[in-house]
């Protein structure tokens, strides 16, 4: 993932190397001291009404209209690790004097891997950070009804005088910066195990911690989950498997906080 800002350098960088590892959160636990506060967390991560209608699957147009959705989902799941590696290995190249994004950008694409088809230009509302994220159109369309019709992508189309291929840019806004890598991984991998592992890496909760540190770790996990939920709702994703994983982790965090607070 790359910040959208002018840079004379075109050296590659990891996809999510610009994401801040902030421990600040809009969700806080009971704090010690004379000004202690307590925050009530909801029991469930609620869905908006329109999401309830998405669980039957998405309606895709064009050449995919007659292909069974189950087959497409299984294909993306099977190819997921290669797709994720391809996204991580793709480098959008911004001109040094680039103030506004063009409709397409040249990209250094990985050889011998399924190349991304588009670039997401994401503005994160919590940090006002803008980042470019390579993505495959089919995986995105299967994940969210907002992207079932995307601009045509041709990796052979040159960028002005460049010999490198270019990818079209899709603009969108999302609520949470810190949680987006989790969602990006899910869109490509669709693996509950991989999502849980990523959560553990992003907001670890070690088994043996003193109470204050354990509560703080649990609240950080709650903040990450809350951000993931907000991004999922913003993209109108009705993936039942994803919602079950999020709700399971949310319930685990609440039980942990209640146990630490001595709630029966």
What would the pLDDT profile of 32-51 be if each residue is shown by its tens digit?
Answer: 333 444 555 777 888 765 55
Q: State yes or no: pLDDT of 221 exceeds 90.
A: yes
The total domain count for the chain is 1
Higher pLDDT, 43 or 118: 118
Is residue 16 a part of any domain in this protein? no
Task: Find the domain containing 196 and state its range.
Answer: 40-261
Is residue 150 a part of any domain in this protein? yes
Alpha carbon distance 126, 183 (integer Å): 16
- Considering 47-61, 87-101, 140-154, 232-246, the range whose residues carry the highest mean pLDDT is 232-246
Is residue 47 a part of any domain in this protein? yes
Is residue 245 a part of any domain in this protein? yes
Is residue 2 a part of any domain in this protein? no
Please name the residue that has the structure tokens 């909801």. Answer: 42
Query: pLDDT averaged over the chain?
Result: 77
Check: CB of residue 260 under 8 Å from CB of residue 218. Answer: yes
Higher pLDDT, 82 or 210: 82
pLDDT given for residue 67 in this prediction: 80
Is residue 223 a part of any domain in this protein? yes
Is residue 29 a part of any domain in this protein? no
Q: pLDDT for 140-192, tens place per residue?
A: 988 888 887 776 666 444 444 456 789 999 999 999 999 999 999 999 999 99
CA-based nearest residue to 261, from 104, 99, 29, 20: 29
Please name the residue that has the structure tokens 């693996």. Answer: 191
CA-based nearest residue to 181, from 133, 226, 117: 133
Please name the residue that has the structure tokens 């369309």. Answer: 141
Q: State yes or no: pLDDT of 123 exceeds 50.
A: yes
pLDDT given for residue 153 in this prediction: 66
Contacts (Cβ under 8 Å, ≥6 apart) of 237: 51, 54, 143, 144
Is residue 17 a part of any domain in this protein? no
């Amino acid at each position: 993932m790359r910040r959208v800002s002018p840079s004379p350098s075109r050296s590659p960088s990891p996809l999510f190397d610009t994401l801040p590892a902030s421990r600040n959160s809009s969700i806080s636990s009971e704090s010690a001291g004379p000004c202690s506060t307590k925050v009530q967390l909801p029991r469930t991560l609620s869905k908006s009404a329109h999401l309830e209608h998405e669980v039957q699957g998405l309606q895709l147009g064009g050449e995919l209209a007659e292909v069974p959705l189950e087959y497409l989902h299984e294909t993306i799941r099977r190819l997921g690790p290669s797709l994720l590696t391809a996204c991580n290995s793709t480098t959008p190249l911004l001109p040094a004097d680039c103030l506004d994004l063009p409709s397409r950008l040249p990209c250094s694409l990985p050889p011998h891997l399924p190349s991304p088809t588009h670039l997401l230009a994401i503005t994160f509302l919590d940090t006002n950070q803008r980042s470019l994220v390579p993505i495959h159109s089919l995986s995105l369309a299967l994940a969210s009804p907002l992207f079932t019709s995307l601009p045509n992508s041709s990796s052979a189309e040159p960028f002005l005088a460049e010999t490198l291929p270019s990818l079209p840019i899709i603009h969108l806004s999302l609520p949470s910066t810190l949680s987006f890598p989790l969602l990006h991984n899910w869109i490509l991998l669709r693996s509950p195990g991989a999502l849980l592992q990523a959560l553990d890496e992003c907001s670890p909760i070690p088994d043996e911690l003193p109470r204050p540190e354990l509560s703080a770790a649990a609240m950080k996990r709650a903040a990450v989950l809350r951000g993931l939920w907000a991004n999922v709702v913003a993209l109108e994703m009705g993936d039942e498997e994803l919602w079950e994983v999020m709700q399971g982790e949310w319930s685990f965090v609440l039980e942990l906080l209640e146990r630490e607070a001595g709630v029966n």
